Every structure is written in C-alpha cells, then in structure tokens.
Amino acid sequence: MYRLHYFPANASAAPHMLLEELGAKYELLLVDRTKDAQKSKEYLKINPNGRIPTLVDNSLVLSEAAAIVLHLVDQHRGAGLAPKVGTPERAKFYQWLTFLTNSLQEELMIWQYPERLAGEDAAARETVKHGAEARASIFLDVVEDHLKANGPLFFGDELSAVDFYLIMLSRWARPMTKPPRSRPNIAKLLDKVTALPSVRRAYAREGITDEIC
Ligand SMILES: N[C@@H](CCC(=O)N[C@@H](CS)C(=O)NCC(=O)O)C(=O)O
C-alpha cells in the first residue's frame, strides 16, 4: 500500500488523482502546512527539502511530484496512463511532464511566492511577480497551441498522467490575469478531465468542493 503525504491542492494533487485513477490502495497522510509540519523534524527525515508531496512505497521514499507520477505510471503499466516505453510518444510524454514541472510549475511558484526571491522590498516583489506571471502565461500559450493541434488531451483522446498534472497547475493558476481556462483548448481539457470520477474523488477527499480549476 502506498502512503501519500499531502496537503489539499498542493503538489500532492497530481499523484493523488493518479492514485485514484489507477484504483491503487493508498493511505493519505496530512502534512499540516498551517502548522509548518513540512518543516518538522519528523517530516524532514523523509523529505529533507521540507516540501510536499512525499510518496512512501514500501522501502522507497520518493519526493518530487513529477517523479512520483513517473513511478506510479511505471508501477501500473497496464493502466495505460503513459505511452509505451521506447516509443516517440513516450519521449513526448517525458517532454510535457518535464515542461509542466520544470517551466510552468516553477514560474507559478515564483508568482505565488515572489518574496522568496525578492525579499521584503514591495517594488521588487511586484516586479518578480509580474515577470513570473508573464512567463507562466507564455508557457500556458504553448500548451494551448499543442492542444489546439493535438487535443483534446495531451495525447489526443488518450488520457495520460500529464493531463492530471495540468489540472493541478491550472487550479493554482486560477487567479492569474489570464487564467488557464480563458484558453479554449485548455478549457476543453480541464472540463473533460475534471469530470472524471477519480479527479472528483481525489479533491473531495482533500476537502475541496468548489470548482476544481
Ligand atoms: N518541485 C517540488 C515542489 C514541491 C513544493 O514546493 N511543494 C509546496 C506545496 S505545493 C510546499 O511543500 N511548500 C511548502 C514550503 O515550501 O515550505 C515538487 O513538484 O514536488
């Protein structure tokens, strides 16, 4: 049985949706960010970065949401939530997952927490926030163009783990000046994937009952 250390709608959400979609046996363990539990001595033992999520799979302790997603699709190959290993589609799957976690997610983090780079200076914070939002917006446009040409999902009609990853990031990005949903092809993907019972169950278990993204 897997154990997923999570906080509602945090970077644990993509692994959580995937666990639900896979029908895997798992236990959810709340890392209470309101009490800084991600920096507790106990949690730092399993995740020295003090970040959420962490997945425990028997003796394996794994952090980084994208790595957890890759591990889960590898452990459940028959579920078909990633293209077959060794194919060009699988390579593209790596490309999109890396792009989402490395480019879009990172800019969204900076946009949400500009003080981590800019410190206390209000003007510097505004500059950092504005720049990160502009870059995140360009990355969302790249996703929109891809979906326009290849959609409705990242791999046409084939559901894959990257679709769940975009749901997670799109929720975070809702307050952007130009939210993900304002792009018609991203909106189509979000509607399709958030309608899945697995996605509804995952967010409901996290106590989220409003529109997901
Ligand atoms: N690259 C990491 C980022 C994880 C991350 O930053 N998680 C946030 C929640 S969304 C967190 O734990 N923040 C608490 C903190 O930085 O103290 C991943 O994708 O797993």
d(CA 198, CA 82): 17
pLDDT value, residue 4 = 98
- Answer yes or no: is the C-beta of 38 below 6 A from any ligand 1 atom: yes
Please check whether residue 2 is in contact with residue 24, taking contact to mean a CB–CB distance below 8 angstroms: yes
Whether pTM > 0.95 for this model: the answer is yes
With a pLDDT cut of 90, the percent of the chain lying above it is 100
- Which atom number of ligand 1 is nearest to the Cα of residue 36? 17
pLDDT tens per residue across span 169-186: 999 999 999 999 999 999
Residue 207 identity: G
Question: Which distant-in-sequence residues (6+ apart) come within 8 Å of 65 by Cβ?
Answer: 11, 12, 14, 15, 53, 101, 105, 165, 168
Task: Tell me which amino acid residue 199 is.
Answer: V
For ligand 1, what atom is nearest to the CA of residue 66? Answer: 19
Helix (H, G, I), strand (E, B) or coil at 95: helix
Calculate mean pLDDT across residues 11-26: 98
Per-residue pLDDT band at 45 (split at 50, 70, 90): very high
Where are the chain's structural domains?
2-80, 88-195
The pLDDT, as a whole number, for residue 155 is 98
pLDDT at 186: 98
Residue 12 CB–ligand 1 contact under 6 Å: no
Q: Where are the alpha helices (DSSP H) in 23-84?
A: 41-46, 65-75
Nearest to 101 by CA among 48, 9, 164: 164
84-100-81 Cα angle (round to 5): 25
Residue 79: its pLDDT value, please?
Answer: 97
Ligand 1 atom closest to 105 (CA): 19
Nearest to 10, CA basis, from 86, 64, 58: 64
Q: Which of 165, 150, 173, 164 is nearest to 195 (CA)?
A: 164
CATH of domain 2-80: 3.40.30.10
Domain 88-195 is in which class?
Answer: mainly alpha
**Would you place residue 20 in the very low, low, confident or very high pLDDT band (cuts 50, 70, 90)?**
very high
pLDDT in tens, 64-109: 999 999 999 999 999 999 999 999 999 999 999 999 999 999 999 9
